[in-house]
């Protein structure tokens, strides 16, 4: 029996948009239910934008943005946010870098001043650069070099799947590239990518729209205007033959494998992309999902398995080219070839036999729950709307995503599954240290 289409309503978060004379785009979404605000600034620069020979530069620059700004000494940003009872952070992604705070709503102006001040210019000194190079190198040691499965699969799979430097290189960076970075290069990077015209400010929570617009104009309106750089195409042709590599991880106790297939452009062709988002959950979300039930519970050929869209697991924060990934960890002596064959078999079953009654609706309901939970907090809402504005010019798409997920049909999911063919696949295998 064919699964019926789920009926999931859209949310109704209000959205106000405007653009300052200097090109800064602003998104406001008021919610007076709690005296809290989330503030996010998203710059249209990420790992794919960093220059060849400067791997890790986008992430390094994110660190430099916390080392003092035009009118504030080092650590002042930290003190002013925490002194108001707030929290803050930043993160680097494939296609953007974000900076954000959550504060009591009476500290909104403080957050706007702080973000505007570093948009005018961070303190790019030799001392700050050298210090943050050391910090990033230590992150690499802790998160990649000295951790089991470090960098798996987000650093290990791209150079197998892609051929061009922007898509394939190590986004954490090599020590040689990081150590040879200069203050002049950092200044050029700021001038090029950290322009008002290349940024989005989003504020969500307990705010008055007119008052907040006035505050934004007061603090950001005088930031010098610089246009957004032309974003190059990062397009690559799809694979026509399977690509597969293996490497030994000296710290990994058990084997693992990750495999991925290219998917439609998530921005330009959302309608074709969404069935892959649903398919990943059909295959791997929960004990009733196809691959968990088959590989983990019945065959016991894996100890865990998961699937997601985007190399960093953010289906609605990535541009083309991107991929659907399936990642599995195996028991001692596990057979990676058998796991990959089983994944192929289950994808083919979905394509040929379709879904059982209730499978699609159950999956869509779980997905909608995750989406709603992610945007329930004001900061999650601000971050997601800022990225949607940045990449699509459509922050209110956040309201429609649960409904659009619910409108994906079984036929669309079957067609997506049919495209997961071995000849379009890239795969990377982790060999436990000392076993081969």
> What domains can be seen in the chain, in order of their start residue?
16-220 (3.30.830.10), 243-432 (3.30.830.10)
Residue 104, SS3? strand
What's the pLDDT score for residue 2? 45
What's the pLDDT score for residue 6? 58
Q: What is the pLDDT of residues 91-106, one digit of tens each?
A: 999 999 999 999 999 9
φ/ψ region of 219 (left if φ > 0, alpha if ψ in -120 to 50, else beta) reads alpha
Q: What is the pLDDT of residues 341-360, one digit of tens each?
A: 999 999 999 999 999 999 99
Give dist(CA 199, CA 365) in Å, integer. Answer: 34
Mean pLDDT by 10 residues, the chain (436 residues): 64 97 98 97 97 96 96 95 97 98 98 98 97 98 97 97 97 96 97 97 98 98 95 96 97 98 98 98 95 97 97 95 98 97 98 96 95 95 98 97 96 98 98 72
What's the pLDDT score for residue 7? 81
By residue count, the chain amounts to 436
- Name the H helices within 41-107: 57-64, 76-83
Q: What is the number of other CB atoms lying within 10 angstroms of the CB of residue 180?
A: 12
Give dist(CA 278, CA 263) in Å, integer. Answer: 12
Give dist(CA 408, CA 361) in Å, integer. Answer: 10
The conformation of residue 432, written as its DSSP 8-state character, comes to E
What's the pLDDT score for residue 434? 57
């Amino acid at each position: 029996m064919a699964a019926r289409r789920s009926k999931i309503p859209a949310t109704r978060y209000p959205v106000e948009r405007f653009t300052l004379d200097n090109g800064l785009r602003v998104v406001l979404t008021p919610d007076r239910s709690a005296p809290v605000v989330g503030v996010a600034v998203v710059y249209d620069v990420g790992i794919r934008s960093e220059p060849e020979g400067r791997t890790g530069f986008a992430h390094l620059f994110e660190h430099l943005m916390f080392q003092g700004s035009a009118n504030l000494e080092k650590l002042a940003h930290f003190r002013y946010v925490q002194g108001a009872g707030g929290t803050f952070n930043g993160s680097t992604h494939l296609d953007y870098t974000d900076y954000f705070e959550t504060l009591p709503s009476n500290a909104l102006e403080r957050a706007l001043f702080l973000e505007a001040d570093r948009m005018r210019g961070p303190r790019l000194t030799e001392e700050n650069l050298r210090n943050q190079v050391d910090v990033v190198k230590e992150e690499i040691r802790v998160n990649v070099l000295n951790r089991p499965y470090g960098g798996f699969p987000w650093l290990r799979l791209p150079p197998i799947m892609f051929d061009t430097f922007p898509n394939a290189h190590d986004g954490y960076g090599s020590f040689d590239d990081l150590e040879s970075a200069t203050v002049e290069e950092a200044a050029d990077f700021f001038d090029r990518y950290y322009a008002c015209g290349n940024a989005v400010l989003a504020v969500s929570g307990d705010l008055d729209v007119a008052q907040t617009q006035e505050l934004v104009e007061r603090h950001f309106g005088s930031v010098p205007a610089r246009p957004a750089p032309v974003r190059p195409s990062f397009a690559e042709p799809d694979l026509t033959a399977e690509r597969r590599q293996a490497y030994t991880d000296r710290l990994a106790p058990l084997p693992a494998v990750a495999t991925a297939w290219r998917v439609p452009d998530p921005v330009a062709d959302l309608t074709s992309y969404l069935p892959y988002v649903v398919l990943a959950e059909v295959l791997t979300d929960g004990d009733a999902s196809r691959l968990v039930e088959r590989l983990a519970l019945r065959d016991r050929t894996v100890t865990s398995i998961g699937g997601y869209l985007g190399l960093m697991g953010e289906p609605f924060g990535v541009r083309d080219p991107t991929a659907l990934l399936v990642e599995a960890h195996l028991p001692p002596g596990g057979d990676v070839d058998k796991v990959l064959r089983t994944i192929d078999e289950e994808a083919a079953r979905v394509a040929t036999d379709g879904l059982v009654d209730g499978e699609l609706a159950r999956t869509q309901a779980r997905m909608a729950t995750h989406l709603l939970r992610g945007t329930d907090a004001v900061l999650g809402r601000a971050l997601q709307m800022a990225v949607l504005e940045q990449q699509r010019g459509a922050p209110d798409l956040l309201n429609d995503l649960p409904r659009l997920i619910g409108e994906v049909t079984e036929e669309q999911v079957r067609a997506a599954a049919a495209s997961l063919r071995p000849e379009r696949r890239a795969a990377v295998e982790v060999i436990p240290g000392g076993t081969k």
